[in-house]
Amino acid sequence: MARTSDDTRQRLLEAARSIFAHHGYEGASVAAIALRARVTKPALYYHFGSKANLYEALVVETLDDRWRLMRAAAAQGNSLEERLTGVIEACFRHAREHREGTRICFSALFAAPDEVPRRASFMRRGRRNFEFVAQLLREGARRGELRRDLNVRELAAAIYSRVVANSLAEIIQGSSAPPANARSAVRIFLQGAAADPRERGRRRRAAAPTPALCRTPGPARLAKRPVVF
């Protein structure tokens, strides 16, 4: 059976994912990737143009997969607790099932500025995933589920760091936290951030304008950027 163009492309992605994950960007050669994929080097250049493009395609694929899973998980929940728990569980599962891709993403994140290609494009997608968590918190704030005196981006950084830390632990230790830990983490987080039920009722009746929590933070608050992969 003749090998299709899509099949060749997928073979190259799978081969490159393994080699980049274990040897890094500089340590991976086009010849080794083509050999592992059982294709020719011209085939690699035909589909991706360069090693840099192939590396970028792997990082983008991993971050986009995580993005889709996060959105799907959040859509299944009603309360903020259910949505955040679903998002973290989805990220844990993704790290466990795509360990090599996650390793490449973290390598890109912590690499020196010129160590990997097109790092800025990776970071844009990482920020997009982080902003999705921030948006869930904004929506929770509008529904009166969070305290009004807290900043939404700082809260997003606190809960998203749980995702980043556990994904990193998955790579290093080879085991991820079970879903129960995600539920526990969200409950502990919300114990400090959740609005008093009586306050939530008063806010609904008052129909107040945009709460302080949802205002755009000033430069001082944004000085320390969270890890957003």
Give pLDDT tens digits for 92-132: 889 989 999 999 998 888 888 788 887 777 888 889 999 99
Please tell me which residue, 2 or 116, carries the higher pLDDT value.
116
What pLDDT does 161 receive?
85
Domain count, the chain: 2
Give residue for tokens 């085991």. Answer: 175
Q: Please give the DSSP secondary-structure letter assigned to residue 214.
A: G
Please tell me which residue, 166 or 60, carries the higher pLDDT value.
60
Q: Which of 49, 65, 81 is the last residue of a domain?
A: 49
Residue 229 lies in a domain: no
Domain that holds residue 1: 1-49
Residue 228 lies in a domain: no
Please report the DSSP string for 45-112 in residue order: HHHHSSHHHHHHHHHHHHHHHHHHHHHHHHHT-SSHHHHHHHHHHHHHHHHHH-HHHHHHHHHHHHS-
Give pLDDT tens digits for 20-55: 999 999 999 999 999 999 999 999 999 999 999 999
Distance of alpha carbon 168 from alpha carbon 109, whole angstroms: 12
Confidence class for position 221, pLDDT limits 50, 70, 90: very low
Give pLDDT tens digits for 194-220: 776 665 555 555 544 444 434 434 434
Give pLDDT tens digits for 123-175: 888 899 999 999 999 999 999 999 888 899 999 998 888 888 888 787 777 76
Q: Does residue 56 share a domain with residue 41?
A: no
Distance of alpha carbon 36 from alpha carbon 30, whole angstroms: 10
**Is residue 82 scored above 60 in pLDDT?**
yes
Average pLDDT, stretch 170-182? Answer: 69
Residue 59 lies in a domain: yes
Instruction: Output the pTM of the full model.
Output: 0.78
Kindly report the CATH number assigned to the domain that includes residue 34.
1.10.10.60
Determine the angle formed by the axes of helices 51-75 and 30-37, rounding to 10 degrees: 60
Q: Does residue 180 share a domain with residue 70?
A: yes
Q: Does residue 71 share a domain with residue 26?
A: no
Distance of alpha carbon 13 from alpha carbon 108, whole angstroms: 17
